[in-house]
Structure 1
Amino acid sequence: MRAVGIILAGGNSRKMQELTEKRAVAAMPIATSYRAIDFALSNMTNSKIQKVAVLTQYNARSLNEHLNSSKWWNFGRKQGGLYVFTPTITSDNGYWYRGTADAIYQNLDFLKKCHEPYVVITSGDAVYKLDYNKVLEYHIAKKADITVVVKELSENEDATRYGTVRMNESARIEEFEEKPMIAHSQTVSTGIYVMRRRQLIDLIERCAEEERHDFVNDILIRYKNLKKIYGYKISNYWSNISTVDAYYKTNMDFLKPEVRDYFFKQLPEIYSKVSDLPPAKYNPGAVVKNSLVGSGSIINGTIENSVIFKKVYVGNNCVIKNSIILNDVYLGDNTYIENCIVESRDTIRANTRHIGENGVKVVVEKNERYAL
């Protein structure tokens, strides 16, 4: 393809509470066998983008481990490849990434050495499928300076945690508000952008000269009247996971047959790093209703409307309802979990009850099971 990919995976969301204390948002597990960044990476390789840079920063260890080989997403056989960049101290720069534009600026050499005429920029914290070729064709047809992929939310969804846009009849963006107090539009930016590589380099260098560091505020919003910025509207499934409630809802969406069919059975596929684990084991007396259970798990109790990730042990007489149990959790006998997200590598002691009464409860047991 005629584009190079950049995935912005360095952010950390406080709205994820304890879930991002030890991992980046882009490394959050999704639907038993994926990480959030897998969706952006799979879309890149399915769009025949062979050169992709992932910009990481906060709590990057888990994410870097996941990205330790590009073979899972079929990048870079002889040309291109998967590049992982973290902030680097140089003689000119002693900063962490101070924003999304600054993250690109600190790795501008990568873009300058590329030969592809276009750049696809996306975040690593959204669950979706998209052919970036179609966005690029639209971008060229419109003779746009920047194309922003947008999504129309339903009336009951909260648009204030996104950038909201208003477009005219020709789909040119006339108004762009980043995380407004009151949303005047239900059309939101998905954080996916297409533009010419040379123009991106110029805009990023200008931002750096003016000590501006944010891509949305300092490029999209600042230049919306000077540059031709168009919106490309998508209608298929798209979900951002940057809050606890959104993360919970996204995983629960995979319990719907149509969502499972869309991601698991319809082409193009979503790829991920494969771990060699045996299939889930259901012992006599186990009851599982409308749930996803990851490989390597052993189930003894009752599970309803829940997502159980890999290597989870569910003890005798346990009841799990409307909950997400992350990787490598041990649930002791007679445990009751409802409306919760249980953090990975937890040991939930026998005869314990955890119920999320006012929304989703994040359960973190700081135990000594993994003591050195």
Structure 2
Amino acid sequence: MKVLGLILAGGKSENLGKLVYKRASAALPIAGKYRAIDFTLSNMVNSGIIKVGVLTQYNPRSLMDHLGSGKEWDLDRKKGGLFILQPYIGFSGEYWYKGTADAIFQNMTILRRGEEDYVLIGSGDHIYKMNYSDLYMYHFSKGADITLITKELDDTYDISQYGSVIVDENMKITKFYEKVKNPPTRRAFLGIYFINKHLLMELLYSTVPNGGNDLLLDVILPRLDELNVYAYDFKGYWRNIKKGVDEYFKINMDIINDRNVREELFYQNGKVYTKLKDFPPAKFTSNSEVVNSIVADGSIISGSVKNSVLFRGTVVKAGAKIENSIIMQGTVIEEGAVVKNAILDKDCHVREGQVIIGEDELVVLEKRTII
């Protein structure tokens, strides 16, 4: 079966504040050496999808540098491969993507010229592991026009930030509540669509020119009674970093503290691929103390690190203490400094003896901060 993968990676993600001032949310570093987009992209490749388009918009430089030619995901190929789909100025005036439907509509060429019969649409800032083969079979067995992936969310999620669905006994979606305060169900839509390509093209042609720019709100929901739209329940770990800094922090802490999450994300349903960098192994001196932490390659640790994630090339000097924190690539923590309950972005520098402690909320330092 031929499937085109589309990854939506152009959102501004204002909830992430300083972390996305200079990068797209899909390019946010995760778990020491990965980027958020690695998970969705690897899911597609592991499921046999060999043609993937990434729709970018805000701050795309870091994301494009990470993806490159797609070599690490085996997408540097003559047939299929990786396509970076950015906004552009055309004769008819297209430029900025106005929404998810408009973004796909402006890149209709990748749909028209492809040999694929189906389209899988996902997001670049969702952290989960899934082989989509069962989704394909489910879609056909239901005779569905569109299948939306859903999940029963527990109390660790703010349900008011998600769209929730009501289904009948056959899992057909009958009602949809878009981000309401107290929905009658906790079955949330995860922003992942599976749809016949020609149906998608027809829906976009009849909607976007008339001002409907959102794939869910303007294209699918107004036709909920006309189309066979089914829900496919996902049972595994799933988080959306776009929901905010606390959500981003929780994802990294879940990977540290929950063995089941680590095994699901990194050992089941194939590997998570990422861009390789030529760093030596991490170095731990005789003065170092590392407890329950991820320390990536190229790091040099002489101080104390507890319950933290350290990315490539970080330096923690003697007497420095790091606890419950995320320290991104190239950051230097000098002698005697203390960092607790904080996120330090790339290439920060904490001088000798400085104290950074988040009390009621996380402290976030943007890229190249010196303190």
TM-score, structure 1 as length reference: 0.96
Corresponding position of 1:53: 53
Q: What's the CA shift for 1:76?
A: 4.9
Is 1:4–1:118's contact at 8 Å kept on the other side of the alignment?
yes
Q: What's the CA shift for 1:367?
A: 4.5
Corresponding position of 2:340: 338
Deviations 1:77-105 (A, max 9, x none): 34111000100101112430011111001
Is 1:31–1:254's contact at 8 Å kept on the other side of the alignment?
yes
Q: What's the CA shift for 1:360?
A: 2.0
Q: What's the CA shift for 1:155?
A: 3.2
CA distance in 2, matches of 1:220, 1:310: 42
Corresponding position of 2:104: 104
Q: What's the CA shift for 1:359?
A: 2.4
CA distance in 2, matches of 1:238, 1:345: 29
Is 2:347–2:369's contact at 8 Å kept on the other side of the alignment?
no
CA distance in 1, matches of 2:47, 2:306: 37
CA distance in 2, matches of 1:350, 1:109: 55
Shifted more, 286-295 versus 153-162: the winner is: 153-162
The AA in structure 2 aligned to 1:168 is D
- Is the counterpart of residue 233 in structure 1 residue 239 in structure 2? no
Deviations 1:166-196 (A, max 9, x none): 1111111112122223333211111110000
Kindly tell me: are residues 296 and 366 of structure 1, through their superposed partners in 2, closer, same or farther at Cα, counting changes over 3 Å? closer
Corresponding position of 2:141: 141
Kindly tell me: are residues 351 and 364 of structure 1, through their superposed partners in 2, closer, same or farther at Cα, counting changes over 3 Å? farther
CA distance in 1, matches of 2:354, 2:41: 39
Kindly tell me: are residues 365 and 56 of structure 1, through their superposed partners in 2, closer, same or farther at Cα, counting changes over 3 Å? closer
CA distance in 2, matches of 1:367, 1:235: 40
- Is the counterpart of residue 244 in structure 1 residue 278 in structure 2? no
The AA in structure 2 aligned to 1:107 is N
Deviations 1:306-334 (A, max 9, x none): 11111101122111111111111111211
How does 1:272-311 map onto structure 2 within 5 Å?
272-311=274-313
Corresponding position of 2:352: 350
The AA in structure 2 aligned to 1:233 is D
Secondary structure of the structure 2 residue equivalent to 1:160 = helix
Count the aligned residue pairs. 369
Corresponding position of 1:361: 363
Q: What's the CA shift for 1:261?
A: 2.2
In the alignment, structure 2 segments of 5+ residues that lack a partner are none
Shifted more, 257-266 versus 303-312: the winner is: 257-266
Corresponding position of 1:36: 36
Q: What's the CA shift for 1:74?
A: 1.0
- Is the counterpart of residue 213 in structure 1 residue 204 in structure 2? no
Shifted more, 305-314 versus 357-366: the winner is: 357-366
CA distance in 2, matches of 1:156, 1:239: 10
Shifted more, 5-14 versus 130-139: the winner is: 130-139
- Is the counterpart of residue 264 in structure 1 residue 289 in structure 2? no
Q: What's the CA shift for 1:368?
A: 7.3
- Is the counterpart of residue 182 in structure 1 residue 182 in structure 2? yes
Deviations 1:258-304 (A, max 9, x none): 22222333341111111111011111210000000011011111111
RMSD value, Cα: 1.5
Corresponding position of 2:192: 192
CA distance in 2, matches of 1:279, 1:307: 16
Secondary structure of the structure 1 residue equivalent to 2:159 = coil
CA distance in 1, matches of 2:201, 2:26: 25
Is 2:346–2:368's contact at 8 Å kept on the other side of the alignment?
no
TM-score, structure 2 as length reference: 0.96
